[in-house]
Amino acid sequence: MVWYALALAVIILFAIAPLLSVLIASAIAEANGCVLHEGGVNPCVIGAVDRGETLLTMFFLGWLMLMTLPAGAVAFLIWIVALIAHLVLRSRTRQTRTELCT
Burial zone of 56 (CB within 10 Å; 0-12 exposed, 13-18 middle, 19+ buried): buried
pLDDT, one tens digit per residue, over 45-75 is 999 999 999 999 999 999 999 999 999 999 9
Report the predicted TM-score, pTM, of the whole model to 2 decimal places: 0.78
- Position 9 scores a pLDDT of 97
Count: domains in the chain: 1
Q: For residue 92, is pLDDT > 90?
A: no
- Position 97 scores a pLDDT of 66
- Position 11 scores a pLDDT of 98
- The residue segments making up the domain with residue 39 are 2-101
Rounded Cα distance between 91 and 93, Å, is: 5
